[in-house]
Amino acid sequence: MSGMSTKNALIFVTQPTNKNSIAVLAGVVEGREDLALSLLFLRDDPSLHIRLQECLHEYERVVIAFSFCTPAAGHVAHLAGQLRALAAESHCPVFWVAGGPHPSGAPEATLRMGFDVVVVGEAEETFPALLRHLIDGRDYSQVKGLAFLRDGELIRTGRAPPVIPLDNHPPFAPLHRRFGPIEITRGCPFACRFCQTSFLFGGQPRHRSPEVVAEWARVAQSHGIPFMRFVAPNALSYGSPDGREINLAAVETLLVEVGAVMGRERVYLGSFPSEVRPETVTHEAIRLIKRLAGNRNISIGAQSGSQRILDAMHRGHTVDDVHRACHIVLHHGLLPNVDIIFGMPGETETDRQLTIRMIESLAKMGAVVRTHVFVPLAGTPLAGAALGTIDAQTDSLLGRLARLGQQHGARSKMRRSRAKMRRSRAKMRRSRAEMRRSRATLRVQLCCGGASDSERRGA
């Protein structure tokens, strides 16, 4: 990309499920003098193909970046295949980059979808470094944190060091008006077997300092963002050195600092998109949140009513902890939103009955249950397990609770989720077939002396 700074573009393909990650990625590259490129955001909607065509016409070199999670993988494979075919018809060299939870957990499968490079794990250092190499036309194979294919073999450039401190990087991209919740903690010591967090970010928590969080809240507010929410593995372990103990002094400082900027009632801690672990819920902690935040509810990660399943998943808390946490939250006049996952690997009829009993008891108490179906996520120990399922009795109980307003998510969501996974797998199969066909075409073109995509790319 050297020598054509004003004609280089970085295009993010945005979807409802990746808008927060795109805000973070855009934040680490926007406004940097060493990255002379235009940042563009193309929504994954029916206008995408036309808008991409316009960009390929307007710019001389383009990087297209995707960030996605496992349930979206099939769709992305299909979409990227279509966009590659479109790009192949233009004269603009395109470089394809993927990152986020799924590509990081399954880099080889992602590369075989047709991406040139995967940014593995934390992108704050690696992604700008990759872009700098592409702009300068330099070999990026020494940049830590990348994976790519060479002669069909997977090459990894080594793990990028964890981002320390988080304070050095923006949580979103104000210059492009891309905002999201502020990540206050990264890394989790629990390594629950179904979750990607510990496997992607390690077990040692790193916290963004309260002053820096407040400063970014001020930036967001000056752009008209009215509320502030946070991302953390366990919101109550903010400031905790090991992520297991709670540090209410740190939580208090955070809420005071951010509340001074946004107004107390416009700050939310421990509700969507983060949650709290049940064993960390105490009267003191909930009193603190009531006093210094605007919460009406607290999200509690319960996951199962079977102690056997909790232990098998390495959750590190008990079923009793869930009941106790809900009692405390309700005692202080807040609503517990309890997350449950059905269909974990190894779940038996007895485990399901125990979970149903727990749901009935929580609903009677006044809690709301948010049910999910197990999805095997790339990079976790359960990546190869089967997609979760739900039986008729559970389905009917959840339907009854949903009609009473005490359950969200499960039934229709599970059906949608299963249908989506099926569609996703079918798309993945179609896209692999398309890739095989296009490789065959490329071989024919090369034999006939035609320029390949990578030659035109010049990267």
Which residues are near ligand SF4 by CB under 6 A?
Answer: 188, 190-192, 195, 197-198, 233-234, 277, 301
The residue among 115 and 190 lying less far from ligand SF4, judged by its C-beta, is 190
The residue among 198 and 417 lying less far from ligand SF4, judged by its C-beta, is 198
In single-letter form, the type of residue at position 107 comes to: P
The residue among 18 and 198 lying less far from ligand SF4, judged by its C-beta, is 198
In single-letter form, the type of residue at position 56 comes to: L
Give the C-alpha separation, 454 to 150, whole Å. Answer: 12
Q: What is the dihedral of CA 247, 251, 257, 260, to 10 degrees?
A: -150
The residue among 236 and 397 lying less far from ligand SF4, judged by its C-beta, is 236
Which among 39, 6, 35, 47 has a CA at the least distance from the CA of 22? 39
Give the C-alpha separation, 344 to 313, whole Å. Answer: 9
Question: CB of residue 369 vs ligand SF4: minimum separation in angstroms?
Answer: 17
The residue among 314 and 456 lying less far from ligand SF4, judged by its C-beta, is 314
The residue among 114 and 270 lying less far from ligand SF4, judged by its C-beta, is 270
The residue among 66 and 190 lying less far from ligand SF4, judged by its C-beta, is 190
Question: CB of residue 234 vs ligand SF4: minimum separation in angstroms?
Answer: 6
Question: CB of residue 314 vs ligand SF4: minimum separation in angstroms?
Answer: 8
| Per-position DSSP letters for 221-256, written without gaps between them | HHTT---B-EE-SSGGGTT-SSSSS--HHHHHHHHH
| Per-position DSSP letters for 54-73, written without gaps between them | HHHHH-SEEEEEEE--GGGH
Question: CB of residue 195 vs ligand SF4: minimum separation in angstroms?
Answer: 3
**Contacts of 48 by beta carbon, 8 Å cutoff, 6+ apart:** 13, 42, 79, 83
- Tokens 């995967």, located at residue: 118
Structure tokens at 151: 């002669």
Question: CB of residue 284 vs ligand SF4: minimum separation in angstroms?
Answer: 21
Question: CB of residue 339 vs ligand SF4: minimum separation in angstroms?
Answer: 9
Give the C-alpha separation, 183 to 171, whole Å. Answer: 7
Question: CB of residue 197 vs ligand SF4: minimum separation in angstroms?
Answer: 4
